[in-house]
Amino acid sequence: MSEQSDHPSHQKTGNSWVEAVKTLGVSLLLAFGIRQFIAEPRYIPSESMVPTLEVNDRLMVEKLSYLFNQPNRGDIVVFWPPDRLKQQNPELKNDAFIKRIIGLPGDKVEVKEGKVFINNEPLIEDYIAAKPNYQWGAETVPDDSYLVLGDNRNNSYDSHFWGYVPRQNLIGRAAFRFWPLPRMGSIDHEESYSSAPSSTP
């Protein structure tokens, strides 16, 4: 009799363990799937994107947009370092970078006179820390690649040092800052540049 009365409780305990393992497995699978294909948190380790992003800002990087759409000029993107950057700094091969897309495939980009020119038209960049104090280009961005620069233009290790980011290296687009709380909110993305002034006779 005692064996018969104990059996249901043992079975119930066993079922509880099975359900717990299933729940844990599904939770881990969902967490991995979300991080791998939908979104993941990142933090800012340097001042290269000041004033838009500050050191230790916590961001959510979304990955869905680039599954269906091409990156836009002005997008703030997280990416794996391209080969040239890894060759220059092998210790960075597993570090993700964050910068702003400035040049799209086929664009002619030049930095001069404290401005960035896209196809001979000056970008309006009211989001940068200071005007660039260097000259670069002109160069044409290769197919399936992007020229990226930090908003802290004179203190950013970016494309003007090591070249272009292949499309396949993009991890995702910075979408939302969730820390610190006083600055919590969506990340601004810019896409604006003035028309080149027409010549007058």
Kindly tell me the sign of the dihedral angle through the C-alpha atoms of 26, 28, 31, 36: negative
Decide if 165 contacts 148 (C-beta within 8 A).
yes
CB neighbour burial string for 67-92, b if at least 16 within 10 angstroms, e if fewer:
eeeebebbbbbbbbbbeebbeeeeee
Q: Tell me the pTM.
A: 0.77
Instruction: Tell me the pLDDT of the chain (201 aa) as tens digits.
Output: 444 445 555 555 556 665 544 454 444 333 444 444 466 888 899 999 999 999 999 999 998 889 889 999 999 999 999 988 888 888 876 789 999 999 999 999 999 999 999 999 999 999 999 999 999 989 999 999 999 999 999 999 999 999 999 999 999 999 989 999 999 988 876 654 443 333 233
pLDDT of residue 60: 92
pLDDT of residue 187: 85
DSSP state string for 121-138:
EEB--TTSSS---S-EEE
According to the CATH classification, is domain 44-186 in 3.60.70.12?
no
- Whether residue 99 lies in the annotated active site: yes
The letter for the amino acid at 24 is L
Decide if 86 contacts 93 (C-beta within 8 A).
yes
Catalytic option among 63, 99, 145, 156: 99
Enumerate the β-bridge partners of residue 140: 108
Q: Which residue has the tokens 């104990």?
A: 6
Domain boundaries, the chain: 1-39, 44-186
Instruction: Please report which helix (H) or strand (E) contains residue 83, including its range.
Output: helix 83-88
Taking alpha carbons only, the member of 70, 111, 67, 76 closest to residue 97 is: 76
Catalytic option among 12, 16, 22, 48: 48
pLDDT of residue 106: 97
- Whether residue 12 lies in the annotated active site: no
